[in-house]
Amino acid sequence: MSQTIYFKRQPRIVATSTIAGPKECEGVIGRYVETALADDMFGESTYEKAECKMLSHVIDGAIANGGFEREEIDCIVSGDLLNQIISANFAARDFSVPFLGVYGACSTMAESLAVAAAFVNGGLMHRAVAATGSHFASAERQYRYPLELGCTRPPQSQWTVTGAGAALVSDRGDGVKITAATLGKVVDFGITDVNNMGAAMAPAAADTILAHFRATGEEPSRYDLIVTGDLGALGSRILKDLTWEKGLDISENHVDCGEIIYNVIEDEFQGGSGAGCSAVVLNSYLYRKLMGGSLKRILFVATGALLSTVSSGQGESIPCIAHAVVLER
């Protein structure tokens, strides 16, 4: 079959919820975020616990915003960046709801949406929550250096978003329809610089976007936006070059969540990253614009860098993936 799958029953996102840290809420996306944190510890004693609490908060928020009770939810599909996806596991512990843990690094929002949509589309579930998040401090500590070391960040680096987002996918009701998905392949262009995720992930985004337009036979203009997750400024330029080289011009309507989440000319350099980046932008700003009608159809392409500190330490390059979902009103 084609890499693109079609959800004929059109499962829909009937509610979302988002939360983000103080820095994130200063940006243009900030005013669309449901819960703005004044303190990125969220009242917890560790960054990891704060990350978990954010995830739990938005899962609950999406359920409540949809007008449902927890026991009406058939599944939570979630993952995050931490080792053994502990944020998702411990968040799911708060709910007496079946749980599917997924790992796609920063592509998790698209992956969890596609998995939830597949179960709902197949009539196996009525309602499933897709959710993910990230935290700047827990990600820095795990992937790079603890903040306390005060390491200098190189100009090609991005800033992991402190935030989380959840989408309630239902087989009925008013919402944003998930009509198709293109599941990504693992792509590795040999990038080894763990501070340059945008360059590593851009080829994966290009691969999935090219596959999507090949399979559907559509033109990029069919979409109001082609939204990538967290390529950042440099990665976005690389993506546009890579697709242009293959005869697909997406420059007119491409935007990257990492590029728009922070106010420009700050010290995030290339922009935002992390699983929470696209989760926050999709479930706040983009969802609102889709529901309001100012966006009618978007291709949401979240990208993930599938490395670990062990793989990098053993000299491996960075394999990446991108999953795309078609969202329309």
By rule CB under 8 A, what count of residues binds a copy of itself? 61
Rg (CA), the chain: 18
Rounded distance between C-alpha atoms, residue 257 and residue 280, angstroms: 9
Binding status of residue 160 toward a copy of itself by CB under 8 A: no
Site string for a copy of itself, 177-216 (x = CB under 8 A): ------xxxxxx----------------------------
Binding status of residue 241 toward a copy of itself by CB under 8 A: no
Instruction: State both tokens at 140.
Output: 């820095």
Which residue, among 265, 304, 268, has the nearest Cα to 21 in the 3D structure?
Answer: 268
Binder among 67, 83, 154, 246 for a copy of itself (CB under 8 A)? 83
Binding status of residue 95 toward a copy of itself by CB under 8 A: yes
Give the number of other Cβ atoms within 10 Å of residue 152's Cβ: 6
Which residue, among 164, 165, 171, 201, has the nearest Cα to 186 in the 3D structure?
Answer: 201
Torsion of CA 261, 266, 271, 277, to 10 degrees: -40
| Least distance (Å) between residue 290 CB and a copy of itself | 23
Binding status of residue 173 toward a copy of itself by CB under 8 A: no
Let me know: does 108 contact 230? Beta carbons within 8 Å: no
DSSP assignment letter at 135: -
Let me know: does 115 contact 77? Beta carbons within 8 Å: yes
Binding status of residue 48 toward a copy of itself by CB under 8 A: yes
Binder among 36, 60, 65, 99 for a copy of itself (CB under 8 A)? 99
Binder among 32, 42, 68, 119 for a copy of itself (CB under 8 A)? 119
Let me know: does 154 contact 101? Beta carbons within 8 Å: no
Binder among 28, 31, 67, 122 for a copy of itself (CB under 8 A)? 122
H or E element that contains 224: none
Which of residues 116 and 250 has its CB atom nearest to a copy of itself in the complex?
A: 116
Which of residues 7 and 269 has its CB atom nearest to a copy of itself in the complex?
A: 7
Distance set, CA 119 to CA 29, 76, 106, 133, 275 (Å): 31, 11, 22, 22, 22
| Least distance (Å) between residue 235 CB and a copy of itself | 19
Which of residues 123 and 217 has its CB atom nearest to a copy of itself in the complex?
A: 123
| Least distance (Å) between residue 220 CB and a copy of itself | 21
Which residue, among 54, 28, 27, 58, has the nearest Cα to 39 in the 3D structure?
Answer: 54
| Least distance (Å) between residue 296 CB and a copy of itself | 24
Q: Under the rule (CB under 8 A), what is the footprint of a copy of itself?
A: 1, 3, 5-7, 45-46, 48-49, 74-75, 79, 81-86, 89-90, 92-93, 95-105, 111, 114-115, 118-119, 121-126, 142, 183-188, 306-311, 314, 316, 319, 321
